[in-house]
Amino acid sequence: MKSVTVLFWICCLLCFVVGCEPAQVATEPKPNVNAIFAPVKVKILPLTKFIDAGGTEEKTAIKSYVSLIDSFGSQIKAPGVFRFELYEYSQRSSESKGKRVTIWPDIDLTNPAKNNDYWRDFLRAYEFNLPFEPAGDQSYILQTNCLCPNGKRLSGEFNLK
């Protein structure tokens, strides 16, 4: 009789420990928030133009405004390394980018202080002054590449006249 009682309590205890497991509920994996707000596109704004110093000590340059766009279409501030290349514009050609005229040194904006120096909050864009002396009435294509910290390379082009 004593062994039956002990066996009964062991069975009750075993049922209590094993049988009280919470129900498994399937949940969707949460998206990586950093990936959602990472840049997916680079755009050179139409404010980009040649600037002439007009006899001052400054040289003629290209003032370029570059915007990074996230997956929602919003202009964002993000770290990255920017590279600018300038090509001659080839008229009446299947490939409008002709000979490369110049390439500027990379501009590393992964440092927060340096990133802030180039950022123009009122435009939600970066401002770059690229020294260049245009030749006569030649048209150009300015290409911007942005290497993001996640390894993505974004590219944009703009026609300069």
Q: Is residue 118 part of a domain?
A: yes
Going along 2-139, which residue ranges are E strands? Answer: 39-44, 49-51, 61-70, 75-76, 81-89, 97-103, 107-108, 119-120, 125-131
Question: Could you tell me the two tokens for 145?
Answer: 């590449």
Sign of CA dihedral 58, 64, 68, 72: positive
Report if residue 67 sits inside a domain: yes
For each of the chain's 161 residues, which pLDDT tens digit applies?
A: 667 676 676 766 666 666 555 666 666 767 676 778 899 999 999 999 998 866 655 568 999 999 999 999 999 999 999 999 999 998 877 888 889 999 999 999 999 999 999 999 999 999 999 999 888 788 999 999 999 988 999 999 999 98
In a domain, 90, yes or no: yes
Which residue range is the domain that position 103 belongs to?
37-160
Whether 136 is in a domain gets the answer: yes
Query: Is residue 23 assigned to a domain?
Result: no
CATH number at residue 45: 2.60.40.1940
pTM for the complete prediction?
0.76
The total number of structural domains that make up the chain: 1
